[in-house]
Amino acid sequence: MNGPRSKAIALWGLVAFSLILLSFPTVIIIGASFTAGEIIQFPPEGFSLRWYEKLWQLDSFQDALLRTFYVSFICTLISLPVGTLAALATVRYRIRFRRTLQVYLLLPFTIPLVVSGLGMLIVFGEVRILGQLWPVGLALCIINLPFMIWAVSASVNGLDSELENAAANCGAAPVQIFFTVTLPAVMPGVITGALLMFILAFNEFLVSLFLVDSRIVTLPVQIYNSIRSVITPDLAAVSVVYILIAVIAVWVLDRLVGLEIFLRSK
Protein backbone atom coordinates (compact mmCIF):
# COMPACT_ATOMS: atom_id res chain seq x y z
CA MET A 1 0.00 0.00 0.00
CA ASN A 2 1.50 3.28 -1.02
CA GLY A 3 0.20 6.75 -1.69
CA PRO A 4 -3.20 8.16 -2.54
CA ARG A 5 -3.54 5.90 -5.58
CA SER A 6 -3.85 2.68 -3.63
CA LYS A 7 -6.15 4.46 -1.18
CA ALA A 8 -8.42 5.46 -4.01
CA ILE A 9 -8.43 1.90 -5.36
CA ALA A 10 -9.33 0.54 -1.93
CA LEU A 11 -12.13 3.07 -1.49
CA TRP A 12 -13.57 2.45 -4.94
CA GLY A 13 -13.34 -1.27 -4.32
CA LEU A 14 -15.33 -0.87 -1.13
CA VAL A 15 -17.97 1.25 -2.90
CA ALA A 16 -18.29 -1.27 -5.73
CA PHE A 17 -18.59 -4.15 -3.28
CA SER A 18 -21.31 -2.34 -1.31
CA LEU A 19 -23.26 -1.49 -4.46
CA ILE A 20 -23.12 -5.08 -5.71
CA LEU A 21 -24.16 -6.43 -2.33
CA LEU A 22 -27.08 -4.00 -2.09
CA SER A 23 -28.39 -4.71 -5.57
CA PHE A 24 -27.76 -8.46 -5.44
CA PRO A 25 -31.28 -9.59 -4.44
CA THR A 26 -32.85 -7.27 -6.99
CA VAL A 27 -30.59 -8.43 -9.81
CA ILE A 28 -31.24 -12.09 -9.00
CA ILE A 29 -35.00 -11.61 -8.89
CA ILE A 30 -35.03 -9.69 -12.15
CA GLY A 31 -32.90 -12.39 -13.77
CA ALA A 32 -34.99 -15.22 -12.40
CA SER A 33 -38.24 -13.66 -13.63
CA PHE A 34 -37.17 -14.09 -17.22
CA THR A 35 -36.55 -17.79 -16.91
CA ALA A 36 -38.07 -20.19 -19.41
CA GLY A 37 -38.02 -23.01 -16.88
CA GLU A 38 -40.55 -24.14 -14.30
CA ILE A 39 -38.70 -23.16 -11.12
CA ILE A 40 -37.11 -20.00 -9.76
CA GLN A 41 -33.39 -20.19 -10.35
CA PHE A 42 -30.39 -18.03 -11.06
CA PRO A 43 -28.88 -17.84 -13.59
CA PRO A 44 -32.20 -18.31 -15.42
CA GLU A 45 -32.78 -21.20 -17.73
CA GLY A 46 -33.13 -19.55 -21.15
CA PHE A 47 -35.03 -16.33 -21.66
CA SER A 48 -38.78 -15.84 -21.97
CA LEU A 49 -41.60 -13.59 -20.89
CA ARG A 50 -43.92 -16.53 -20.19
CA TRP A 51 -44.22 -15.83 -16.48
CA TYR A 52 -45.18 -12.22 -17.12
CA GLU A 53 -47.73 -13.49 -19.62
CA LYS A 54 -49.07 -15.91 -17.09
CA LEU A 55 -49.20 -13.21 -14.44
CA TRP A 56 -51.13 -10.91 -16.70
CA GLN A 57 -53.65 -13.58 -17.55
CA LEU A 58 -54.22 -14.41 -13.92
CA ASP A 59 -57.42 -12.69 -12.78
CA SER A 60 -56.50 -12.86 -9.12
CA PHE A 61 -53.29 -10.94 -9.82
CA GLN A 62 -54.98 -8.24 -11.85
CA ASP A 63 -57.68 -7.76 -9.25
CA ALA A 64 -55.17 -7.68 -6.40
CA LEU A 65 -53.05 -5.15 -8.26
CA LEU A 66 -56.04 -2.88 -8.88
CA ARG A 67 -57.12 -3.16 -5.25
CA THR A 68 -53.63 -2.27 -4.10
CA PHE A 69 -53.63 0.79 -6.34
CA TYR A 70 -56.99 1.77 -4.91
CA VAL A 71 -55.86 1.31 -1.30
CA SER A 72 -52.65 3.29 -1.92
CA PHE A 73 -54.66 6.03 -3.59
CA ILE A 74 -57.05 6.31 -0.62
CA CYS A 75 -54.11 6.33 1.78
CA THR A 76 -52.33 9.11 -0.14
CA LEU A 77 -55.52 11.12 -0.55
CA ILE A 78 -56.19 11.17 3.20
CA SER A 79 -52.58 11.85 4.13
CA LEU A 80 -52.29 14.90 1.85
CA PRO A 81 -54.44 17.36 3.82
CA VAL A 82 -53.95 15.68 7.18
CA GLY A 83 -50.16 15.40 6.99
CA THR A 84 -49.63 18.81 5.40
CA LEU A 85 -51.78 20.67 7.91
CA ALA A 86 -50.37 18.71 10.85
CA ALA A 87 -46.82 19.52 9.80
CA LEU A 88 -47.63 23.22 9.30
CA ALA A 89 -49.43 23.40 12.63
CA THR A 90 -46.80 21.66 14.72
CA VAL A 91 -43.76 23.29 13.15
CA ARG A 92 -45.08 26.73 12.40
CA TYR A 93 -47.51 27.82 15.02
CA ARG A 94 -46.99 28.13 18.73
CA ILE A 95 -50.00 26.06 19.57
CA ARG A 96 -50.56 24.59 22.99
CA PHE A 97 -49.27 21.06 23.68
CA ARG A 98 -47.10 21.38 20.59
CA ARG A 99 -44.43 18.91 21.72
CA THR A 100 -47.01 16.46 22.97
CA LEU A 101 -48.86 16.69 19.69
CA GLN A 102 -45.67 16.10 17.73
CA VAL A 103 -44.88 12.98 19.74
CA TYR A 104 -48.47 11.77 19.51
CA LEU A 105 -48.48 12.09 15.73
CA LEU A 106 -45.25 10.09 15.48
CA LEU A 107 -46.54 7.38 17.79
CA PRO A 108 -47.92 4.98 15.13
CA PHE A 109 -44.36 4.56 13.90
CA THR A 110 -43.12 3.25 17.24
CA ILE A 111 -45.84 0.67 17.76
CA PRO A 112 -45.20 -2.82 16.32
CA LEU A 113 -47.28 -3.33 13.19
CA VAL A 114 -48.81 -6.50 14.61
CA VAL A 115 -50.24 -4.46 17.48
CA SER A 116 -51.52 -1.75 15.13
CA GLY A 117 -53.06 -4.38 12.86
CA LEU A 118 -54.83 -6.10 15.71
CA GLY A 119 -56.05 -2.75 17.07
CA MET A 120 -57.45 -1.72 13.71
CA LEU A 121 -59.08 -5.11 13.28
CA ILE A 122 -60.94 -4.66 16.58
CA VAL A 123 -61.91 -1.03 15.97
CA PHE A 124 -63.00 -1.57 12.36
CA GLY A 125 -64.95 -4.62 13.46
CA GLU A 126 -66.74 -2.59 16.12
CA VAL A 127 -67.80 0.12 13.67
CA ARG A 128 -68.74 -2.52 11.07
CA ILE A 129 -66.48 -1.42 8.23
CA LEU A 130 -64.45 -4.60 7.96
CA GLY A 131 -64.59 -6.33 4.61
CA GLN A 132 -64.48 -3.08 2.66
CA LEU A 133 -61.46 -1.82 0.86
CA TRP A 134 -61.28 1.88 1.78
CA PRO A 135 -60.73 1.24 5.53
CA VAL A 136 -57.52 -0.55 4.56
CA GLY A 137 -56.34 2.69 2.94
CA LEU A 138 -57.31 4.61 6.05
CA ALA A 139 -55.41 2.17 8.27
CA LEU A 140 -52.29 2.40 6.13
CA CYS A 141 -52.54 6.19 6.22
CA ILE A 142 -52.68 6.14 10.01
CA ILE A 143 -49.64 3.92 10.49
CA ASN A 144 -47.51 5.69 7.86
CA LEU A 145 -48.56 9.29 8.58
CA PRO A 146 -45.30 10.10 10.45
CA PHE A 147 -43.45 9.83 7.12
CA MET A 148 -45.77 12.38 5.53
CA ILE A 149 -45.38 14.71 8.50
CA TRP A 150 -41.60 14.36 8.43
CA ALA A 151 -41.40 15.09 4.74
CA VAL A 152 -43.59 18.21 4.94
CA SER A 153 -41.95 19.42 8.17
CA ALA A 154 -38.59 19.49 6.42
CA SER A 155 -40.04 21.90 3.86
CA VAL A 156 -41.84 23.98 6.48
CA ASN A 157 -38.59 24.38 8.42
CA GLY A 158 -36.95 25.83 5.34
CA LEU A 159 -39.80 28.27 4.80
CA ASP A 160 -39.07 31.97 5.39
CA SER A 161 -41.72 33.02 7.90
CA GLU A 162 -41.61 36.52 6.46
CA LEU A 163 -43.13 35.27 3.16
CA GLU A 164 -46.60 35.11 4.68
CA ASN A 165 -46.23 38.61 6.12
CA ALA A 166 -45.14 39.79 2.71
CA ALA A 167 -48.24 38.23 1.16
CA ALA A 168 -50.47 39.91 3.74
CA ASN A 169 -48.74 43.16 3.02
CA CYS A 170 -49.54 42.63 -0.67
CA GLY A 171 -53.22 42.46 0.26
CA ALA A 172 -53.78 38.71 0.45
CA ALA A 173 -56.33 37.44 2.96
CA PRO A 174 -55.27 34.48 5.17
CA VAL A 175 -56.90 31.82 2.94
CA GLN A 176 -55.35 33.35 -0.17
CA ILE A 177 -51.96 33.40 1.56
CA PHE A 178 -52.24 29.68 2.25
CA PHE A 179 -53.03 28.71 -1.32
CA THR A 180 -50.83 31.19 -3.18
CA VAL A 181 -47.74 31.34 -0.97
CA THR A 182 -47.56 28.79 1.86
CA LEU A 183 -48.67 25.72 -0.08
CA PRO A 184 -46.48 26.32 -3.16
CA ALA A 185 -43.52 26.95 -0.86
CA VAL A 186 -43.89 23.62 0.96
CA MET A 187 -44.88 21.73 -2.19
CA PRO A 188 -41.60 19.77 -2.51
CA GLY A 189 -42.24 18.25 0.91
CA VAL A 190 -45.86 17.52 0.07
CA ILE A 191 -44.91 15.75 -3.16
CA THR A 192 -42.15 13.76 -1.49
CA GLY A 193 -44.46 12.78 1.34
CA ALA A 194 -47.31 11.81 -0.99
CA LEU A 195 -45.12 9.54 -3.11
CA LEU A 196 -43.63 8.01 0.01
CA MET A 197 -47.12 7.33 1.36
CA PHE A 198 -48.15 5.75 -1.93
CA ILE A 199 -45.17 3.41 -2.07
CA LEU A 200 -45.42 2.48 1.60
CA ALA A 201 -49.12 1.65 1.21
CA PHE A 202 -48.39 -0.26 -1.96
CA ASN A 203 -45.88 -2.47 -0.14
CA GLU A 204 -47.55 -2.78 3.25
CA PHE A 205 -48.24 -6.34 4.24
CA LEU A 206 -48.70 -6.97 7.95
CA VAL A 207 -51.54 -4.59 8.77
CA SER A 208 -53.21 -5.41 5.44
CA LEU A 209 -53.12 -9.08 6.39
CA PHE A 210 -55.35 -8.33 9.38
CA LEU A 211 -57.82 -6.22 7.46
CA VAL A 212 -58.38 -8.02 4.16
CA ASP A 213 -60.29 -11.20 3.52
CA SER A 214 -60.29 -13.45 0.46
CA ARG A 215 -62.71 -11.17 -1.41
CA ILE A 216 -60.62 -8.01 -1.09
CA VAL A 217 -57.11 -9.41 -0.97
CA THR A 218 -54.37 -6.91 -1.93
CA LEU A 219 -51.18 -7.69 -3.79
CA PRO A 220 -48.73 -8.08 -0.88
CA VAL A 221 -51.14 -10.44 0.83
CA GLN A 222 -51.76 -12.27 -2.45
CA ILE A 223 -48.01 -12.85 -2.83
CA TYR A 224 -47.82 -14.13 0.72
CA ASN A 225 -50.63 -16.56 0.03
CA SER A 226 -48.87 -17.81 -3.10
CA ILE A 227 -45.52 -18.51 -1.46
CA ARG A 228 -47.28 -20.59 1.12
CA SER A 229 -48.29 -23.03 -1.63
CA VAL A 230 -45.79 -23.36 -4.51
CA ILE A 231 -42.95 -21.03 -5.36
CA THR A 232 -43.10 -20.49 -9.10
CA PRO A 233 -41.30 -17.90 -11.26
CA ASP A 234 -44.47 -15.80 -11.51
CA LEU A 235 -43.58 -14.62 -8.01
CA ALA A 236 -40.33 -13.27 -9.39
CA ALA A 237 -42.34 -11.53 -12.09
CA VAL A 238 -44.57 -9.92 -9.42
CA SER A 239 -41.48 -8.75 -7.60
CA VAL A 240 -40.20 -7.14 -10.78
CA VAL A 241 -43.53 -5.32 -11.14
CA TYR A 242 -42.94 -3.97 -7.63
CA ILE A 243 -39.43 -2.88 -8.47
CA LEU A 244 -40.74 -1.16 -11.58
CA ILE A 245 -43.33 0.80 -9.60
CA ALA A 246 -40.68 1.87 -7.09
CA VAL A 247 -38.40 3.03 -9.92
CA ILE A 248 -41.25 5.00 -11.47
CA ALA A 249 -41.96 6.65 -8.12
CA VAL A 250 -38.32 7.68 -7.70
CA TRP A 251 -38.30 9.02 -11.24
CA VAL A 252 -41.46 11.04 -10.65
CA LEU A 253 -40.00 12.36 -7.41
CA ASP A 254 -36.83 13.41 -9.15
CA ARG A 255 -38.73 15.13 -11.94
CA LEU A 256 -41.13 17.00 -9.67
CA VAL A 257 -39.17 17.69 -6.51
CA GLY A 258 -35.65 17.67 -7.88
CA LEU A 259 -36.78 20.33 -10.28
CA GLU A 260 -38.69 22.21 -7.61
CA ILE A 261 -35.77 22.25 -5.19
CA PHE A 262 -33.56 23.47 -8.00
CA LEU A 263 -35.96 26.32 -8.64
CA ARG A 264 -36.11 27.24 -4.99
CA SER A 265 -32.39 27.28 -4.37
CA LYS A 266 -30.99 30.76 -4.00
Partner 1 sequence: MVEICDVSKSFGDFRAVDDASLALPKGEFLTILGPSGCGKTTLLRMIAGFSKPDAGKILINGGEVENVPPHKRSIGMVFQRLALFPHMTAAQNVAYPLKMRGFDTKTIPDRVSEYLKLVRLQGYEERRPHQLSGGQQQRVAIARALSFSPDLLLLDEPLSALDKKLREEMQLEFRRIQQELGVTTINVTHDQREALVMSDKIIVMNAGRIQQSDSPEAVYRAPSNRFVANFVGLTALFGGAIERVDDEGVVVRVGELALRARAGEALTPGASVDCAIRAEQIRILADDEENDTGRFDNTVTGKVDQRIFEGDRMVYQVTVPKLADATLFVFDHDPTHHAERGQSGALKLAWNARDMLTFPTNP
**By the criterion CB under 8 A, which residues form the site for partner 1?**
160, 162-163, 165-173, 176, 180-181, 184-185, 187, 263-266
Q: What span, in angstroms and rounded, lies between the C-alpha atoms of 262 and 247?
A: 21
Query: In terms of CB distance, is 98 or 264 closer to partner 1?
Result: 264
Residues listed for the chain: 266
Least distance CB 250 / partner 1 (angstroms): 23
Least distance CB 158 / partner 1 (angstroms): 10
Q: What span, in angstroms and rounded, lies between the C-alpha atoms of 71 and 159?
A: 32
Query: In terms of CB distance, is 18 or 176 closer to partner 1?
Result: 176
List, as one string, the DSSP characters of 97-127: THHHHHHHHHHHHHS-HHHHHHHHHHHHHHT
Cβ proximity of 210 and 118 under 8 Å: yes
Q: What span, in angstroms and rounded, lies between the C-alpha atoms of 237 and 40?
A: 10
Q: What span, in angstroms and rounded, lies between the C-alpha atoms of 101 and 223?
A: 37
**Could you give the C-alpha distances from 53 to 49, 50, 218, in angstroms and in order?**
6, 5, 20
Least distance CB 160 / partner 1 (angstroms): 6
Least distance CB 50 / partner 1 (angstroms): 49
List, as one string, the DSSP characters of 134-153: HHHHHHHHHHHHHHHHHHHH
Query: In terms of CB distance, is 229 or 265 closer to partner 1?
Result: 265
Least distance CB 143 / partner 1 (angstroms): 32
Query: In terms of CB distance, is 23 or 165 closer to partner 1?
Result: 165
Query: In terms of CB distance, is 95 or 263 closer to partner 1?
Result: 263
Q: What span, in angstroms and rounded, lies between the C-alpha atoms of 149 and 105?
A: 8
Query: In terms of CB distance, is 66 or 261 closer to partner 1?
Result: 261
Least distance CB 263 / partner 1 (angstroms): 6
